[in-house]
Amino acid sequence: MKNILVTGGAGFIGSNFIRMVLTEHPDCLVVNLDKLTYAGNLENLADLVGGGAAGTRGAGRTPVPQVPRVTAHDTPYRFVHGDICDAALVARVIDEHHIDTIVNFAAESHVDRSLTGPKIFIETNVTGTLCLLEAARDRNVDRFLQVSTDEVYGALGPEGQFTEQTLLSPNSPYSASKAAADHLVRAFGHTWGLKYNITRCSNNYGPYQFPEKLIPLMIHNALHDKELPVYGDGMQVRDWLYVYDHCTAIWRVLERAAPGEIYNIGGCNEKANLEVVNIILSRLGKPQSLIRHVKDRPGHDRRYAIDAGKIIRELGWKPSVTFEEGIARTIDWYLAGGKWLANVVSGAYQQYYERMYANR
Ligand code: NAD
Ligand code: TYD
């Protein structure tokens, strides 16, 4: 594995993954193909590779080069502004950079947005993945890693955990689109022998997460003494995974997994949403009176919990931080990175927030 195409590398997990590869595996070339949607932000990597001025975030703000370019520091990194649905572009990028490995992070990733506008989820998460798969098959790429989610398994009751054998039973348009992509990846392996892996992780948190997701949204609101909108009773459970640990797990799969294997990745950190919100408030020294229970999300999955035993046993991976350490690091990062947060909540974010929360 030398020349890696990372799609969606300007997003939260993709940029953390690129940061890890460039820092810890500098013999690899990383090509980042990203459409720069509202969630894509070149500032996430600006300190490492340059080129992330405030105006480069989000599609349509500032022109971004359409062709691969060497960055200021001559890091083994190229950025390509483009859509994974663009078959000609994907083929050109793979050929030009002799890509041997594809890691597909690119996606529409937020459940709430999939409830109000599911079409783009099908376009990017399903059609986009199909486009990458066809290119990978036709060009004999050595490995295709699909970054999936535990949400494809549906929801759990109070007991039990998702294993790799759990039936796919997605409940939201987001998770349905991710499950469709997983089936396509598997089908390309079965039919054409594409060497693939699928990873299914639990909820990630950490630096550079866009403040539409629970943890950064609550940190941002608490910092500004704004209400913290908890859906329903707040007793829904998520299994939190620190983003760096997710990245090391993906790397382990790329290095050691046999083709065709699927791995669950989880941090063994089950927490009810209210507990997470209270930890954030207490660490920031803010009062619980900021919490406001709002109308629940339709079809809200009650509980996710991951059995990560397979990747631990077979590939020797394990998470490096506890939730307490991870959340402390995350809050400290948001406190120190005030400018990053201020930039991402300017403009379109305000309209999104109004639309989502004003009459809830
Ligand atoms: P994100 O929303 O932060 O980033 C997505 C990135 O994909 C952005 O940079 C965006 O510009 C890019 N993108 C979107 N559409 C594109 C397209 N058509 N072509 C090229 N680029 C496009 O998402 P994230 O939280 O970093 O998630 C990354 C992956 O991990 C996704 O596949 C998601 O389903 C999966 N995942 C995320 C979580 C989580 O907790 N965040 C949990 C499980 C799985
Ligand atoms: P989220 O970060 O959107 O991830 P997912 O829906 O993919 O698990 O939400 C995590 C949990 O937090 C989920 O149960 C919904 C809840 N939530 C709130 O209570 N309030 C909020 O404002 C948000 C964004 C999420």
Is the distance from CB of 144 to CB of 133 less than 8 angstroms?
A: yes
Q: For residue range 213-237, what is the model confidence (pLDDT) as tens digits?
A: 999 999 999 999 999 999 999 999 9
Residue of 5, 6, 7, 13 best suited for mutating to test ligand 1, as the one with most atoms within 8 Å of CB = 13
Relative to the CA of 10, which ligand 1 atom is closest?
9
Q: What positions carry a catalytic annotation?
A: 150-151, 174
- Residue 172 near ligand 2, beta carbon < 6 Å: no
Q: Please state the separation of Cα 214 from the chain's center in Å.
A: 14
Mean pLDDT of the chain: 93
Predicted local confidence at residue 62, as pLDDT = 37
Task: For 257-296, give one letter per residue: b (16+ CB within 10 A) or e.
Answer: beeebbbbbbbbbbbebbebbbbbbebeebeeebbeebee
Is the distance from CB of 334 to CB of 284 less than 8 angstroms?
A: no
For residue 1, name the pLDDT band (cuts at 50, 70, 90): low
Q: Please state the separation of Cα 339 from the chain's center in Å.
A: 22
Q: For residue range 266-281, what is the model confidence (pLDDT) as tens digits?
A: 999 999 999 999 999 9
Beta-strand pair 237-239/270-272: antiparallel
Is the distance from CB of 56 to CB of 8 less than 8 angstroms?
A: no
Residues with CB under 6 A from ligand 1: 7-8, 10-14, 33-37, 39-40, 83-85, 105-107, 109, 124, 128, 147, 149, 178, 201, 203-204, 210
State the CATH architecture for 3-206+243-267+303-321: 3-Layer(aba) Sandwich (3.40)
Ligand nearest to the Cα of 360, by number: 2
pLDDT at 50 over 80: no
Q: For residue range 92-149, what is the model confidence (pLDDT) as tens digits?
A: 999 999 999 999 999 999 999 999 999 999 999 999 999 999 999 999 999 999 999 9
Ligand nearest to the Cα of 240, by number: 1
Distance CA 278, CA 273 (A): 9
Q: How far is the CA of 314 from the centre of ligand 1 (A)?
A: 27
